[in-house]
């Protein structure tokens, strides 16, 4: 499963950017939670298309999508 990371400090909030991430992603893939007076995105990684649309279009580059991690290690 991909990892959806949001830099809450950097995020300017959905009200300030117009909810860019939720407009780009499939319905219900992005919801928002209140954090320090602003709405920051939370992703449903089951619905996420993993196309980095939200990451690439975030006006302040507050979103990072990491590929799935392997449980095994190569030594």
Structural domain contains residue 51: yes
pLDDT of residue 73: 61
- CATH number of the domain bearing residue 45: 3.30.70.20
Residue 55 lies in a domain: yes
pLDDT of amino acid 52: 92
Q: How many domains does the chain have?
A: 1
70 has pLDDT over 90: no
Domain that holds residue 13: 3-66
State the SS3 of the chain: CCEEEECCCCCCCHHHHCCHHHHHCCCCCEEEEEECCEEEEEECCCCCCCCCHHHHHCCCCCEEEECCCCCCCCC
pLDDT tens track for 23-69 = 999 999 999 999 999 999 999 988 988 899 999 999 999 999 998 87
pLDDT given at position 20: 95
Q: Is residue 74 part of a domain?
A: no
Question: For residue 74, what pLDDT is reported?
Answer: 59
Query: Would the CA dihedral through 20, 23, 26, 32 be positive or negative?
Result: positive
């Amino acid at each position: 499963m991909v990892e959806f990371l949001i830099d809450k400090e950097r995020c300017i909030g959905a009200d300030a950017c117009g909810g860019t991430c939720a407009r780009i992603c499939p319905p219900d893939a992005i919801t928002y939670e209140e954090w320090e007076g602003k709405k920051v995105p939370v992703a449903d990684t089951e619905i996420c298309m993993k196309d980095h649309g939200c990451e690439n279009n975030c006006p302040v580059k507050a979103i990072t999508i990491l590929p799935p991690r392997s449980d095994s290690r190569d030594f």
